[in-house]
Chain A
């Protein structure tokens, strides 16, 4: 079993829809949780960073962490075609970036 599981998609939704992306994990020692966005033929870029359980909101994006269920989510409101990308969840045990474990990514397509 992989440490981090993520549905690869692809996920296709119409513009303006609410998108929900999810990851599950098996290691209860993970404390720091991240979402990266990767456009085609580009490197990943950090989108959201959360510590422990709870919610964090940044504009149209909301990250949720439920440590009791070992489940994290990223919600995108009012989705735009420019949100079309692969979204990778990632997590680590401490604040150091040295041992980040990535999910395999979910490919998201927003239809105009």
Chain B
């Protein structure tokens, strides 16, 4: 019973290609996120969606375009891949509440651009 799942787990591609990463959560959460974790383990938020609406877009190049077909899915499409895009991309979800709001992370997608 995977709570947050991502596909693919590994992605090796050439510079200039276009690729997509898919994310699904079965927790019934309203909010989903994409994070990028670089080689030094620094985890930085890229996008946040609440009920299919974009609420955070953190100075990410236009080549990155998130798409949320429904609140259980948040996909990430990347155009014209560059060497610097190599990283681990994590999807996460959370449910707004009156108290603490816990994020649940997926297993990550390891992207290597050659």
Contact = CB atoms under 8 A, between A and B. Distances in A.
Which size bracket describes the interface of B in this complex? 20 to 34
Contact of A97 (B4, B31, B107): B31
A98 B31 CA distance: 8
A88 interface: yes
A51 interface: yes
Contact of B106 (A43, A49, A95, A98): A43
A38 B4 CA distance: 15
B45 A100 contact: yes
A76 to B, nearest CB: 19
Interface residue range, chain A: 20 to 34
A24 B54 CA distance: 31
B109 to A, nearest CB: 10
B27 interface: no
Given A95-B101, A100-B45, A41 B94 contact: no
Given A88-B41, A96-B96, A42 B107 contact: yes
A41 B108 contact: yes
Contacts, number: 61
A41 B37 CA distance: 12
A98 B101 CA distance: 9
A43 B4 contact: yes
B55 interface: yes
A45 interface: yes
B67 interface: no
Nearest to B40: A104
Most buried by B among A97, A99, A105: A97
B100 A32 contact: yes
Interface in B45-90: 45, 48, 50, 55-56, 90
Interface in A63-112: 86, 88, 95-100, 102, 104-105, 107
B39 to A, nearest CB: 11
Interface of A: 8, 32, 38, 41-46, 49, 51, 86, 88, 95-100, 102, 104-105, 107
